[in-house]
């Protein structure tokens, strides 16, 4: 049996793991975690709890996620050991083309406004996941979210700060001003916020299912909003959309199996990065020391150069997946890592080798795990709020390329390159659902988390709390790094050519992670929640008082 590392004294981590023989829900907002835990207590499955918690997050964390966005998820079945994954990312409208945008004067993809909007995949993804893995009635899952949208909730610290940063963006849309800027300002921390229009949308989804969103009243409201703003979406773009069941990619990292989803997401970069890192003796390096960080930063640059060059919707572009995840290719790329930082953005040739977002994780009493990520992309997505229904539409279209020769070039009914990725890892009796949000931070943060667990024996809370670096640009030697990395290590990295921009102790630039772990030998569950977010890992409440009286 693999032992769970425990550091009870003289430790560097701030929080302990949550440990329970019941289920655990870990999200970036405590009310959402609590709602998911209550669903588990009512007999819900891990997927029921994940959907309920995600729906609440769309209300209490509206700048990051909601029904106007996309969702990706991995489900692990404790009884069979089977992994099932879904890609519920939406496509570009039929009429949104490169020529159409250029005729409007756009030289690059719009990053906000109606022409950055792609079809939201979230509600369809929820419906398909619930049909396969749900236990409770669909309508029950939305009652917590409806409650908070109607009754209101006090705005939390990190969410409130992000909200304040988007006042200008929200002010450009009449619906956004009315719904999210009461009195022309973002709500203060602790202020009660209500969104009765979003409650109306959630009530329709609860009563009528996904058809309400893609063919019913909400679809008509989306179309009215799009038409009013000159958008290219049609009713068929909504009604004909369907999520896709996908097979996860995987790699072996020092005896652990690590799983990510295939493109159009960036999970493949985490696998390529781990493959490169497996060729270096990270376990012998000092944790978060200069040798480890230099190697990880250089591996990130190599993997992300390939990410930038090759990843796109595989229904439209030939992505060299087999080459990118092969160890032969990893060995080629690893040979480029030397003592000094590389500053050029140079992709390799994997085809020649053959062989602002929320994340949540849930484990239920039986050990089933859900790893789920959902997003509007940038804060409040496109900044466009749907007429009468109080939710923002995503701006995922902003990640397309207007170069028609690029694999990720905009095309009708094509899905853009996607940053959001759920993940899963296991060894023997230990099974971990994990994810770390934050745009292009995600794949590199996944690799750092895996290394913390595997190479340094950290428990899941210590591994997600540990200081991180992130690089959100392609090319160059710039890198963001947390202040908890000691000054002497930062100085040594600078001497090797890295251009460091030092962030706070627990910087939001590094994203926030949520982790659950199931020990199938001991039948015990563990949870961890990143202090870089407002959330918590909350255990399922036991039936202390017996069944609730009706």
> Catalytic amino acids?
357
Other beta carbons within 10 Å of 335: 10
Q: What is each CA distance from 115 to 92, 109, 222, in whole angstroms?
A: 9, 8, 13
Contact at 8 Å (CB) between 102 and 150? Answer: no
Q: What is each CA distance from 60 to 55, 195, 315, 377, in whole angstroms?
A: 9, 10, 35, 16
- Beta-carbon contacts of 341 under 8 Å, excluding residues fewer than 6 positions away, are 294, 297, 298, 477, 496, 497, 498
Other beta carbons within 10 Å of 494: 13
Q: Which segments within 161-208 are labelled E, that is strand?
A: 192-193
Contact at 8 Å (CB) between 345 and 303? Answer: no
Tokens 């659902």 belong to which residue? 433
Closest CA to 102 of 406, 410, 316, 309: 410
Contact at 8 Å (CB) between 310 and 319? Answer: yes
Closest CA to 29 of 526, 540, 535, 481: 535
What tokens appear for 50 in the block?
A: 């994940």
DSSP lists the bridge partners of residue 372 as 73, 360
What tokens appear for 244 in the block?
A: 């896709």
First to last CA, the chain: 44
Q: What is the DSSP string of 74-131?
A: EEE-TTT--EEEEEEPPPPPTT--HHHHHHTT-SS--SSSGGG-----HHHHHHHHHH
Q: Say which DSSP state 191 is in.
A: -
Contact at 8 Å (CB) between 277 and 326? Answer: no
Other beta carbons within 10 Å of 266: 25
Sign of CA dihedral 289, 291, 295, 298: positive
| Maximum separation of any 2 CA atoms in the chain, in Å | 68
Residues 315-318: contacts with CB under 8 Å, at least 24 apart: 315/414, 315/415, 316/407, 316/411, 316/414, 317/407, 317/408, 318/407
Please tell me the distance from the alpha carbon of residue 26 to that of residue 30, in angstroms, as a whole number: 8
């Amino acid at each position: 049996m693999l032992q769970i590392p425990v550091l009870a004294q003289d430790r560097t981590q701030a929080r302990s793991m949550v440990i329970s023989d019941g289920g655990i829900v870990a999200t970036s907002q405590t009310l959402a975690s609590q709602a998911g835990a209550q669903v588990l207590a009512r007999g819900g499955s891990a997927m029921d709890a994940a959907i309920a918690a995600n729906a609440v997050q769309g209300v209490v964390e509206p700048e990051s996620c909601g029904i106007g966005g996309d969702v990706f998820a991995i489900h692990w079945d404790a009884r069979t050991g089977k992994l099932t994954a879904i890609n519920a990312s939406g496509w570009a409208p039929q009429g949104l083309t490169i020529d159409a945008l250029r005729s409007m004067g756009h030289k690059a993809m719009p990053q906000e406004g109606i022409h950055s909007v792609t079809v939201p995949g979230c509600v369809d993804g929820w419906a398909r996941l619930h049909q396969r893995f749900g236990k409770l009635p669909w309508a029950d899952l939305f009652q917590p979210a409806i409650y908070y949208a109607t009754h209101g909730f006090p705005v939390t610290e990190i969410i409130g700060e992000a909200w304040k940063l988007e006042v200008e963006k929200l002010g450009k849309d009449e619906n956004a001003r009315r719904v999210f800027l009461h009195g022309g300002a973002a709500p203060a921390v602790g202020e009660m916020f209500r969104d009765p229009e979003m409650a109306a949308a959630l009530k329709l989804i609860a009563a009528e299912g996904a058809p309400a969103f893609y063919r019913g009243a909400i679809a008509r409201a989306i179309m009215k909003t799009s038409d009013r703003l000159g958008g290219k979406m049609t009713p068929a773009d909504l009604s004909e959309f369907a999520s896709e069941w996908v097979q996860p990619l995987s790699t072996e990292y020092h005896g652990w199996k690590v799983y990510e989803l295939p493109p159009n997401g960036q999970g493949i970069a985490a696998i390529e990065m781990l493959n490169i890192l497996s060729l270096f003796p990270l376990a012998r390096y000092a944790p978060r020391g200069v040798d480890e960080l230099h190697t990880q930063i250089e591996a990130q640059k190599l993997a992300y150069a390939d990410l930038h060059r090759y990843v796109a919707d595989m229904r439209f572009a030939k992505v060299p997946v087999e080459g990118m995840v092969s160890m032969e290719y990893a060995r080629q790329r690893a040979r480029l890592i030397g003592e000094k930082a590389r500053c050029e953005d140079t992709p390799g040739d994997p085809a020649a080798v053959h062989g602002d977002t929320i994340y949540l994780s849930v484990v239920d009493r039986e050990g089933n795990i859900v790893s789920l990520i959902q997003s509007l992309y940038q804060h409040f997505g496109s900044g466009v709020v749907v007429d009468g229904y109080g939710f923002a539409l995503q701006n995922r279209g902003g990640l397309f390329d207007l170069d028609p020769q690029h694999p990720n070039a905009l095309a009708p009914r094509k899905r853009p390159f996607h940053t959001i990725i759920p993940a899963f890892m296991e060894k023997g009796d230990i099974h971990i659902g994990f994810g770390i949000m934050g745009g292009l931070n995600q794949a590199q943060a996944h690799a750092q988390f895996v290394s913390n667990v595997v190479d340094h024996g950290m428990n899941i809370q210590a591994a997600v709390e540990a200081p991180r670096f992130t690089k959100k640009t392609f090319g160059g030697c710039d890198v963001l790094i947390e202040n908890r990395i000691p000054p002497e290590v930062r100085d040594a990295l600078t001497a090797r050519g890295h251009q460091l921009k030092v962030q706070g102790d627990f910087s939001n630039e590094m994203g926030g992670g949520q982790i659950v772990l199931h020990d199938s030998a001991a039948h015990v569950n563990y949870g961890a929640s990143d202090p870089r977010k407002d959330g918590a890992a909350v255990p399922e409440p036991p039936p202390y008082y017996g069944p609730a009286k009706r």
